[in-house]
Amino acid sequence: MKKNKGMIILFLLPAVILFCLIFLYPIMRTLLMSFFKITGVTDSMDMWQFNGIGNYTKLFSTGLFVTSMTNLAKIWLFGGIIVLSISLLLAVILTSGVRGKKFFRAIIYLPNIVSAVALATMWLQYVYSPKFGLLKTFFTKLGLESLSKTQWLDNEHKFGALLIAYCFGMIGYHMLIWLSGIERISPELFEAATIDGANKPAQFRYMTLPLLKGVFKTNITMWSVSSVAFFLWSQLFSTVTADTKTITPMVYMYTKVFGAGNSVTEHDAGVGAAVGVILSVCVVIIFTLCNKFIKDDELEF
Amino acid sequence: MAKVKRKKKMEPINWHKEAKLIPGYLILILWVIFTVVLLGWVIGASFSTTKEIYQGNALKFLSGFHFENYVKAWSGGNVSTFFLNSLEYSLISCVLLLLICAPAAYVLSRFTFLGNKIIQTSFVSSMGVPVIMIVLPLFSLISALGVLNNIFANKVLLIFLYVGINIPYTTIFLLTFFANISRTYEEAAAIDGCPPMKTFWKIMFPMAQSGLVTVTIFNFINIWNEYFLSLIFANSDKLKPVAVGLYGMINSMKYTGDWAGMFAAVVIVFLPTFILYIFLSEKIIGGVTGGIKG
C-alpha cells in the first residue's frame, strides 16, 4: 500500500489541480463577488465595495433582468414539455418493434453533434427565411397564403421560432436517455402483461411510465442544466443588443460584464456574478425538488 | 446484444404486426424527411449561387455546381484559420484530457483513500454548474497574467480552459469504465513483479481503449462546438475557433449578401463532426447514456 500512496497522489494531482483552478476557486470567488460592487471584472479585490445583497435586490428590480428570467422560465417550462414529451414519444415508437431502429435513432440524434451556430444558422437563414424559406415554400405549396407570408422572425413570432428551433436540436439527446431507460425494463414484464391481456396503451400507462421515474428525473436535471446556460441561440436570434423578446440571464450577464458600455448596460461585474449565483441556485432547487418528489427505486441502474 | 440482433433479422415480416406500427413509422419518417431536407437543402445551397437561392432554385443547379463558394469561403472569409484553430484546440485538448483524466479515473476507481468520495462528488456536481458561474474570476485571473496580447500564450490558455472544463466529465466517464475491468490483470502483473504505475500504462490504459475512444469523440465534438469561453477568451481573428468565427461571418454576411458563400461556411463548420458521426454513430450513441449513469 505504501507504494500506492505515491501513485495515487501522482495520478490524481493534475486533474485535481486543474479542477480547483477552473471550478473550485472561480465558484467561490463568484459567490464572493456577488456581494460586492465591482465596476470592472479585472478590478483587484481592494477596489471592491461591500454591497450586501444589494446586487440581488437591484437585479430583481431591473425590468430587463426580470424579463430575461421570465424568458428563461418560459424556455424551461414550455421547451421542457415539448422536448421531454416528443422525445419520450419517439423513444416509445423506437422500442415498439419498428424496423430500422438504429437508422432512425441515428438521424434523430444527428442535430446534437452539429455545431449550434451552424444549426441555428440553418433555421434562421433557411427554415424561417421570408424569401426562400422552408416554411414559406411549404405553405405556398399547400395554398395557405396567409401562413406563407408570416414573418417568423418578427417580434411577435420570434420567441416561438427560437423555442422550436432549439427544441429540435435537443430532442435527440433526451430521446437517448429515455431509450436507455426503456431498454433496461425487462421484456419479460411486458410479455407477462400481454399474456394477462393488458393492451399496449395500458402497458405504457401502468408499466413503462412508473418504471421510468428515475429516467424522468435524469431528463429534467439534464434539461435544466442545459437551459440555464441558454446563450448562443438567444444571441443568434436577437437582432439588437438586449432584445427583450429573446434575452436570457446569461445574455444579460454577458452584456453587463463584457458588452459595450452604454446607457442600457452600465458595467457591473458584481451584478454579473449575482446572475451566475441565481442561476446556480435555480439548478440546485430543481435538483432538490426532483430528488424529493421523484424516488427512483424502481429501476436498477 | 449481438444475439438479440441476429434473432430480429431472421424474423420474417409479420404484416399484421407491421400494420399496427404504421402511425409510428409515419412520425419517424416525417422526422427523418425534415432533418434530411434541412441539412440537404443547406448543403445543396452551398453549391448554388445567391441569385438562384433567392429565386427558389437552390437545388436545381441551373448553372451547374459552384465549388468556388467553398474556395471563396475557405480562403477569403478566414474560415481556413478558424478551421485549423479548432482542429488544433480539439486535438491537443483531447490528448491532454486522456493523459490527465485516465490516471485520475483509474486511481479513483481502484483505491479507497481519504477524499476519494469527495473528489467524485465534486466532479459530478461541477457538471451541473453553469459556465457563467466560473467565467468572471477566470477572466480577471487571465487578464492579470497578461496573456491575452500574445497569440501563442493565448492559444495555450484556450487549450488549458478547454481541458479544464472537460476534466470532470472525462474523469467520471472513464471511472465507470475502469471499474468494470477485472482486477485479476493487475494481480497477475503484480505477481510478475510489474510496478503498479507501469501496470497502468502498459496494461490498463490499453485495455480501456474503447472507453478512451468514446470519451475522446465526445470531447472532440464538445470542444469543436464550444462557444461561450471561446467568445470571451479568443478576441483576435487569428485565435477564433469555428463556432465563434462563423458567428462573426454570418453577421458580416448581412452586409455582403453572399448567401451561397455563407452556406458553404456553415457546411465547412459542421462537416468534421458530421463525418465523425457517419462513421461512429453507434459508438457515440452508446456513449451518450453511458456517460450519464455516473
Question: What was the pLDDT predicted at A68?
Answer: 93
Question: What was the pLDDT predicted at B293?
Answer: 44
In angstroms, rounded to a whole number, what is the distance separating the alpha carbons of residues A255 and A61? 18
- Distances in whole angstroms, Cα of residue B161 to Cα of each of A14, A22, A69, A117, B134: 14, 7, 28, 20, 11
Residue B291 confidence (pLDDT) above 70: no
Residues of chain A contacting residue B24, judged by C-beta atoms under 8 Å apart = 93, 96, 98
The answer to whether residue A6 is domain-embedded is no
Which pLDDT band, with edges at 50, 70 and 90, does B3 fall under?
very low
Residue B10 confidence (pLDDT) above 70: no
Residues of chain A under the 50 pLDDT cut: 1-2, 263-264, 299-301
Question: What was the pLDDT predicted at A235?
Answer: 86
Q: Per residue in B113-158, pLDDT tens?
A: 888 999 999 999 998 899 989 999 998 888 888 877 788 889 999 9
pLDDT above 70 covers what percent of chain B? 93
Number of neighbouring beta carbons within 10 Å of residue A282? 19
Average pLDDT over chain B, rounded to an integer: 85
The answer to whether residue A130 is domain-embedded is yes
The answer to whether residue B248 is domain-embedded is yes
pLDDT above 90 covers what percent of chain B? 33
The answer to whether residue A93 is domain-embedded is yes
Pick the residue with more confidence: A123 or B59? A123
Question: What was the pLDDT predicted at A196?
Answer: 83
The answer to whether residue B223 is domain-embedded is yes
Angle between helices B209-225 and B151-179 (to 10 degrees): 140
Residues B130, B102 share a domain: yes
Residues B244, B202 share a domain: yes
Is A257 an 8 Å CB contact of chain B?
yes
Question: What was the pLDDT predicted at B12?
Answer: 67
Q: What are phi and psi of A49, to 5 degrees?
A: -115, 125
The answer to whether residue A30 is domain-embedded is no
Q: How far is B170 from chain A (nearest CA, A)?
A: 10
Residues of chain B contacting residue A132, judged by C-beta atoms under 8 Å apart = 53-56, 58
The answer to whether residue A285 is domain-embedded is yes
User: Testing the interface with A: which of B10, B53, B79, B140 to mutate, by most A Cβ within 10 A?
Assistant: B140
Structural domain harbouring A222: 62-293
Using the 3D structure, point to which of B49, B70, B91 is the last residue of a domain. Answer: B70
Angle between helices B259-292 and B242-256 (to 10 degrees): 150
Residue B7 confidence (pLDDT) above 80: no
Using the 3D structure, point to which of B70, B91, B118 is the last residue of a domain. Answer: B70
Mean pLDDT value across residues B147-170: 91
Residues B28, B171 share a domain: no
CA distance between the termini of chain B: 22
Please answer whether residues B75 and B268 qualify as being in contact, where contact means their C-beta atoms are separated by less than 8 angstroms: no
| Nearest-CB residue to A98 (from B24, B45, B128) | B24
Residues B175, B32 share a domain: no
Q: Give the count of domains, chain B.
A: 2
The answer to whether residue A12 is domain-embedded is no
The answer to whether residue B277 is domain-embedded is no
| Nearest-CB residue to B281 (from A89, A106, A125) | A106
| Nearest-CB residue to B133 (from A27, A99, A301) | A27
Q: Per residue in A247-294, pLDDT tens?
A: 899 988 888 888 755 544 567 888 889 999 999 999 999 989 988 887
Q: Give the count of domains, chain A.
A: 1
Residues B188, B100 share a domain: yes
Residues of chain B contacting residue A41, judged by C-beta atoms under 8 Å apart = 136, 139-140, 143
Which pLDDT band, with edges at 50, 70 and 90, does B171 fall under?
very high
Q: Which 124-183 residues of chain A touch chain B by CB within 8 A?
A: 125-127, 131-132, 134, 137, 173, 176-177, 179-180
- Would the CB atoms of A90 and B139 count as touching at under 8 Å? no
Pick the residue with more confidence: B61 or B170? B170
The answer to whether residue A241 is domain-embedded is yes
The answer to whether residue B230 is domain-embedded is yes
Question: Which of B156, B131, B112, B243 has its CA nearest to residue A5?
Answer: B112
Question: What was the pLDDT predicted at A1?
Answer: 44
CATH number at residue A136: 1.10.3720.10
Structural domain harbouring B17: 12-70
- The residue behind cell 421484456 is A187
Residues B141, B112 share a domain: yes
In angstroms, rounded to a whole number, what is the distance separating the alpha carbons of residues B284 and B277? 7
pTM assigned to the model: 0.88
Question: Which of A138, A154, A285, A267 has its CA nearest to residue A220?
Answer: A285
Question: What was the pLDDT predicted at B46?
Answer: 86
In angstroms, rounded to a whole number, what is the distance separating the alpha carbons of residues B58 and B53? 4
- Would the CB atoms of A117 and B224 count as touching at under 8 Å? no
Q: How far is B242 from chain A (nearest CA, A)?
A: 9
Question: What was the pLDDT predicted at A173?
Answer: 92
Residues B123, B219 share a domain: yes
